[in-house]
Amino acid sequence: MKKIAVFVSGNGTNLQAIINAVSRGALKAQIALVVSDKKNAFALIRARRAGIKALFLDPKDYESRRAYDAALVRCLKAQKIDLVVLAGFMRILSPLFVQAFRNRILNIHPALLPAFPGECAIKDAFRHGVKVTGITVHFVDEEVDHGPIIAQESVNVLATDTAESLEEKIHRVEHRIYPEAIKKVLSGGFTLKGRRVLPVSRKS
């Protein structure tokens, strides 16, 4: 059984979706660890409720981002973690961390990257007046919201939508596609061709 660690900073609705997918057998993996950089993240409570080891690692206890990330890496290696899943984790990971888990860190972003990177993706897309936005699951590389794309799904923006109703629709899709994307990556059935994430069976 592959072991995953989920990194959180807040409410943890994507964590909950992953917990649910595991408990109903849709995702065959063990959530071995949940790590938060915020003490009061509700996600920690969700993890403990589900019987998952939940760790608050305080950035203030470390003298640099590098030192914090080195502690994260030690912790994950000790637990033999196969895959790191970012689920609303609000810290940027340093190259040290990215290199230690190259192509084994996933992030979900509430827009069709490369459109609308950054922290306000849904509002930015809404204000830009797009008629189609969506969700991206991607590998994390050294640049923010940038790595190879594992999955995307579009969401139409209707004239009747508000930024809030759009946010709701997007989160609903997130909760469905993130466990699916994790499953796909854990199955190992993909290869990278440039930036393209392709099934290994593909001849070309």
What are the start-end ranges of the E strands in 87-193? 105-109, 132-139, 149-156, 190-193
Q: Measured from the CB of residue 135, what is the shortest distance to a copy of itself in angstroms?
A: 9
Please choose, out of 48-56, 101-109, 168-176, 195-203, the segment that lies near a copy of itself by the rule CB under 8 A. Answer: 195-203
**39 in contact with a copy of itself (CB under 8 A):** no
Q: Which is nearer to a copy of itself, 77 or 128 (CB)?
A: 128
Which bin fits 25, alpha (ψ -120 to 50), beta or left (φ > 0)?
A: left
Alpha-carbon distance of 184 to 86, in angstroms, equals 16
Asked whether position 131 contacts a copy of itself by CB under 8 A, the answer is: yes
119 in contact with a copy of itself (CB under 8 A): no
Pick from 59, 114, 118, 188: which binds a copy of itself (CB under 8 A)? 114
Asked if 196 interacts with a copy of itself (CB under 8 A), we say yes
Which listed residue (109, 128, 138, 175) is catalytic?
109
Burial class (CB in 10 A: 0-12, 13-18, 19+), 42: middle
Q: Which residues lie closer than 8 Å to 51 by C-beta, 6 or more apart?
A: none
Work out whether 197 is an interface residue with a copy of itself (CB under 8 A). yes
Evaluate whether 84 touches 105 at the Cβ level (below 8 Å): yes
Is 171 designated active site? no
Q: Which is nearer to a copy of itself, 1 or 200 (CB)?
A: 200
**Cis before 114 (ω within 30):** yes
Q: Which amino acid is at 121?
A: A
Q: How many residues bind a copy of itself (CB under 8 A)?
A: 28
Contact positions vs a copy of itself (CB under 8 A): 112-116, 127-132, 134, 148-154, 159-160, 194-199, 202
Catalytic residue annotation: 109
